[in-house]
Amino acid sequence: MADIDEIDTSNLAYGRTEWDDHHHLPTNTGLTNEKVTMWAFLGSDCLLFGALISTYLLLRNRVGPATSGPTAADLFDIPFTSVSSFVLLMSSLTMVLAVTSIQRAEMDRCKLWLLTTAALGSIFIAGQVYEFTSFYREGLGFTTNISSSAFYTLTGFHGVHVSLGIVMLVTMWVLVSGGQIGPERAETIEIIGLYWHFVDIVWIVIFAVVYLIP
């Protein structure tokens, strides 16, 4: 994409160049506005998760004098969560495939990979629902102690992020199927892909910091 600063600037007086409503001027960065928006949002979201993760780390072992409730860490089922983490990781791969296929104008493949990505994400969410339920059965509610509040809040926020991603993926699948999105709008899928990868990376951090580090 052309750099706007390379445009001929030899005209000194104001008003040589006409606004052009039909042909977009290139942007200064060469990235579209939508893409810069997503990057900015993700930058902001990093701090959201940063604050939530720090909060969890500070509070992970606090159960309080009055309770006998377990901490979340007492109940972790590492093999189970490893599998669901792996599923989420694989969904990043399928997301890449969806983006490449729409860039190559292979719409059927794109649809397939979009759906696969959404499905893998859903499996992850199902795993989280299962995990939460079994923790709850074992006596760890949201209000049981400080560490449980922190655990559910952090992982819950991540779950909401994944779920929003699934909604976006399914919407894309509908739009691609209906022909409203064609190869010329590959970037829309690419931008959603950015979001999806981000959510995956955050999970890797959460999995490492919350589940694996004792």
Partner 1 sequence: MAITEERPEILELESGDTSFSTGAFARPTNASGWRAWFFTVDHKKIGIMYGAVAMFWFLWGGVEALLIRAQLFTPNGTVLTAEQYNQIFTMHGTTMVFLVIMPLAAAFANYIVPLQIGARDVAFPRMNALGLWLFVFGGIFLNLSWFLGGGPDGGWFAYAPNTGVTFSPGAGMDFYALGLQIAGIASLVGAINLIVTVLNMRAPGMTMLRMPVFTWMILVVQFLLLFALPVITVALILLSFDRTFDANFFNVAMGADPLLWQHLFWIFGHPEVYILILPSFGIVSETLPVFSRKPLFGYSVIVISGAAIGFMGWGVWAHHMFVSGLGPVGVAAFSATTMFIAVPTGVKILNWIATMWGGNLRFTVPMMFSISLVSMFTIGGLSGVMHSVAPADTQQTDTYFIVAHFHYVLFGGALMGLFAGMYYWWPKAFGYKLSESLGKWHFWILLVGFNMTFGPMHIVGLQGMARRHSRYGPEDGFDFWNAVVTIGAFVILIGMIVFAVNIVRSWLGYKAGTIPQEPADPWDARTIEWAIPCPTPEHNFDYVPVITDIDDFWHKKYQPDENGKLRKIADGNEIAQKGDQSPHLPSPSYWPIVLAAGLPLIALGLIYNLWVSGIGLVLLLGAMFGWSLEPATDPNAGHDDHGDDHDPDTNAPDGDEGGDAEVAEEAPVG
Q: Where are the alpha helices (DSSP H) in 104-182?
A: 107-137, 146-177
Q: Would you mind telling me the total number of residues written for the chain in this entry?
A: 214
Binding mask 123-162 for partner 1 (x = CB under 8 A): -------------------xx-xx-xxx--x---------
CA angle 92, 178, 22 (to 5 degrees): 90
- Amino acid identity of residue 70, one-letter, is P
Residues 159 and 127: their CA atoms lie apart, in Å, by 10
Identify which range of 106-114, 115-123, 180-188, 193-201 contacts partner 1 by CB under 8 A: 180-188
- Amino acid identity of residue 68, one-letter, is S
Please list, in sequence order, all residues whose beta carbon lies within 8 angstroms of the beta carbon of residue 150, skipping any fewer than 6 positions away.
55, 56, 58, 59, 60
Nearer to partner 1, 62 or 197 (CB): 62
Q: Which of 21, 68, 79, 214 binds partner 1 (CB under 8 A)?
A: 21
Nearer to partner 1, 7 or 204 (CB): 7
In the block, residue with structure tokens 């052009």: 20
Token pair in block for residue 125: 């969410």
Q: How far is the CB of 149 from partner 1 (least distance, A)?
A: 4
- Amino acid identity of residue 110, one-letter, is C
Residues 108 and 116: their CA atoms lie apart, in Å, by 12
Q: How far is the CB of 22 from partner 1 (least distance, A)?
A: 5
The yes or no reply on residue 106 touching partner 1 (CB under 8 A) is: no
The yes or no reply on residue 68 touching partner 1 (CB under 8 A) is: no
Q: Which of 70, 104, 187, 210 binds partner 1 (CB under 8 A)?
A: 187
Nearest in space to 151 (alpha carbons), one of 52, 29, 16, 23:
52
Q: How far is the CB of 24 from partner 1 (least distance, A)?
A: 4
The yes or no reply on residue 177 touching partner 1 (CB under 8 A) is: no
Residues at the interface with partner 1 (CB under 8 A): 1-2, 4-5, 7-9, 11-29, 31-34, 36-37, 40-41, 43-45, 47-48, 50-52, 55, 58-59, 62-67, 142-143, 145-146, 148-150, 153, 175, 178-182, 184-187
